[in-house]
Amino acid sequence: MLKMKPKCETCSTALPHEAEAFICSYECTFCQTCSENTQYICPNCDGELVRRPTRMRGVLDVATTQLKRKILG
């Protein structure tokens, strides 16, 4: 599961789970503006920044669904 960091690591802009954000393979997280400023290259590891997926359901809701599938088949 991706760690959904709540703010940009450069400018500290709030990034709720449904916000557009960009991450690298180490889950460094940046807002749109900061990602554009670095040409979508992570300033921490030089990895590619890609659009972070959004979450529509809460973690507990997803875990409950997974558990039901395991139990009920």
**1 compared with 10, residue with greater pLDDT:** 10
Please give the C-alpha separations between residue 11 and each of 29, 31, 42, 59, 71, in angstroms, as whole numbers: 11, 8, 14, 27, 44
Q: Please give the average per-residue pLDDT across 17-22, as a whole number.
A: 90
pTM of the predicted model as reported, rounded to 2 decimal places: 0.75
Q: Are 46 and 39 in contact (CB under 8 A)?
A: no
* Spatial distance between the Cα atoms of 10 and 43, rounded to a whole number of angstroms: 9
What is the CATH T-level fold of the domain 1-73, as seen in this structure?
Herpes Virus-1 (3.30.40)
pLDDT at 54: 79
Query: Does residue 40 register a pLDDT over 80?
Result: yes
Q: Where are the alpha helices (DSSP H) in 1-73?
A: 32-37, 59-72
